[in-house]
């Protein structure tokens, strides 16, 4: 992951700190350690962001921010990754989590009716909730581990590739100077 690519899309911490709605977090936002872009901080931010995104709870962004603060990783990246579960993707992701939880718990899957309603969801919540919770935690842990490993591998591959390109350019310059 090229650092310059990520820096291009990062918000400015001073701008965020001055926003009225984020004043209660101004000390955390102003901490320069939470804005570092290194292989470790970005990989851990992916883990926290993906883990928080899979949890069917309100205030996922607060959980991600607290996790970033605890693990001292990139705050805006971990909070931004929570938006994987946005209002469009949330039903599909949580239904998938429910199916995973039902599979792990070896319980039958409740099929959704042709017309989904809040009344149906409320009446079936006692049946759905345990499988949803287990499936969400399982998928959160798996995604966090896979995301962390994938970021570390891609980051290492990118650095290795740039070193090889730099060595090739130096070799070509040396050959040109010898001629």
| Burial 107-143, CB ≥16 within 10 A → b, else e | eeeeeeeeeeeeeeeeeeeeebeebbbbbbbbbbeeb
Q: pTM of the full predicted structure?
A: 0.77
Burial of 15 (0-12, 13-18, 19+ CB in 10 A): exposed
Helical spans, DSSP H, in the chain: 3-9, 13-18, 26-29, 39-54, 60-71, 75-80, 90-105, 118-178
Confirm if 41 and 7 have CB atoms less than 8 A apart.
no
Q: What is the pLDDT along the chain (179 residues), one digit of tens a residue?
A: 466 666 566 666 555 555 555 555 556 666 666 777 788 998 999 999 999 999 999 889 889 988 988 898 888 888 889 989 988 888 889 889 999 999 999 888 877 777 767 787 778 888 889 999 999 999 999 999 999 999 999 989 988 998 998 989 888 888 888 76
Q: What is the DSSP letter of 32?
A: G
């Amino acid at each position: 992951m090229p650092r310059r690519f990520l820096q291009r899309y990062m918000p400015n911490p001073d701008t965020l700190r001055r926003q009225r709605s984020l004043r209660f977090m101004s000390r955390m936002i102003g901490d320069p350690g939470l804005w570092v872009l290194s292989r470790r901080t970005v990989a851990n931010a992916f883990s926290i962001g993906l883990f928080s995104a899979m949890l069917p709870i309100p205030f996922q962004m607060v959980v991600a921010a607290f996790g970033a603060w605890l693990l001292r990783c990139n705050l805006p990246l971990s909070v931004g990754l929570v938006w994987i579960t946005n209002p469009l993707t949330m039903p599909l992701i949580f239904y998938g989590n429910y199916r995973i939880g039902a599979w792990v718990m070896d319980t039958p899957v409740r099929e959704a009716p042709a017309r989904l309603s809040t009344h149906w969801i409320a009446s079936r919540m006692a049946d759905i909730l345990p499988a949803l919770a287990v499936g969400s935690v399982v998928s959160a842990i798996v995604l966090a581990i896979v995301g962390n490993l994938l970021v570390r591998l891609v980051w290492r591959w990118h650095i290795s590739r740039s070193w090889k390109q730099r060595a090739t350019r130096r070799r070509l310059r040396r050959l040109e100077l010898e001629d």
